[in-house]
Amino acid sequence: MLAGMRVLVTGGTGFIGSHAVVELIEAGHEVSVVDNLVNSKRSVVDRVARITGTAPELNVADIRDEDALDRIVGDGGFEAVIHFAGLKAVAESVQRPLDYWHANVGGSVTLFRVLDRHAVRTVVFSSSATVYGDPDEVPVTEDMPTKPATNPYGGTKQVIEQILTDLHGADPRWNVGLLRYFNPVGAHQSGLIGEDPNDIPNNLMPIVAQVAAGMLPGVNVYGTDYPTRDGSGVRDYVHVVDLAKGHLAALDRLTAAPGRHVWNLGTGSGTTVLELIAAFGRAAGFEIPHRPADRRPGDVAETWADVTKAERELGWRAVRGIDEMCADAWRWQRYALGLEE
């Protein structure tokens, strides 16, 4: 990627976005963030500055606000956009579908209209392994068929992928990277940024971290009778710093080979729930309380990524293992306990 690009990052104070902002700044790019702070804190900007020496510009705005976006994009001189902004809690999306369709799809449509108007047509989008549903085989390759979404959150990811695909089909100047993340976890090694859920977390790693911190009583292991090596579910956990670097690799590739591309971002191997809990215990230095519980409705037994396409086309590979993911998540969890605002 050319140094000194101007990149707009929606959702850039969030978990994955903040790590991508760090990587962009460290690679010499100029970053402007749009975030409505619905699930992140303003102080992320100062903490990114402590890591990188540079504070990204922060525009506190909602991606559904067309006038605000028009000003930001119109004045910005951006060459590319990384689009993280959206709501991401699967169970909540079932309870509040309109909020999810409005924020994720409505917000994306508004964003893309504004980008088109200002001829900023290089977009990297945060999609998800959820688009594969319960895969027919593992590891999952990008050309496997997507399955009908089982929840509104997953539906929004499929629809946004389709919108970007249609945009590219209508006008090949749209240069689109659809990144299907597997299970992003961990935190920056500085301990200054990480996943910072406003409510009780939904995902395994932050739950385990909060149990370790004494904020939650114990981890429910949702299913111990799956046909896996220890009976618990298998996922492809990928360190958020590796994931963030994947976005820079995708921008590079979009510059070298314009088009509409899909890439899985994962490690290419699976970890069970019980293995992750044990790894976190090693990182923390004590055993994490956990107990067997019923399967969680909608969960698949196992999924992990085939990452050969990303390796081949992006020259990118995740290098951080599960112990490092847990150690970094634990360092961040202890720091986050003292955060206010």
Q: What does the block give as tokens for 313? A: 């086309």
152 binds ligand NAD (CB under 6 A): no
Catalytic residue among 100, 132, 153, 226: 153
CB nearest ligand WQD: which residue?
233
For 160-163, which contacts have Cβ atoms below 8 Å and span 24 or more sequence positions?
A: 160/104, 160/105, 160/108, 160/125, 160/127, 161/125, 161/127, 161/131, 161/262, 163/105, 163/108, 163/109, 163/112
| Of positions 103, 238, 244, 305, contacts ligand NAD by CB under 6 A | 103
- Does 179 contact ligand WQD by CB under 6 A? no
Residue 320 contacts residue 244 (beta carbons within 8 Å): no
Place of tokens 């990627």: 1
Closest approach of Cβ 49 to ligand WQD, in Å?
Answer: 28
Encode 264-283: b = buried (16+ Cβ within 10 Å), e = exposed.
Answer: bbbbbebbbbbbbbbbbbeb
C-beta closer to ligand WQD: residue 10 or 32:
10
* Residue 88 in the binding site for ligand WQD (CB under 6 A): yes
User: For this structure, is 153 an active site residue?
Assistant: yes
If phi > 0 it is left, if psi is from -120 to 50 it is alpha, else beta; for residue 125 that is: beta
**Do 94 and 51 meet the contact criterion of CB atoms below 8 Å apart?**
no
Contact with ligand WQD (CB under 6 A): which of 1, 72, 209, 273?
A: 273
Per CB under 6 A, 107 contacts ligand NAD: yes
Q: Does residue number 62 form part of the binding site for ligand NAD (CB under 6 A)?
A: yes
Binding mask 188-227 for ligand WQD (x = CB under 6 A): --------------xxx--x-----------xxxxx----
Binding site for ligand WQD (CB under 6 A): 88, 90, 128, 130, 183, 202-204, 207, 219-223, 233, 235, 273, 296, 299
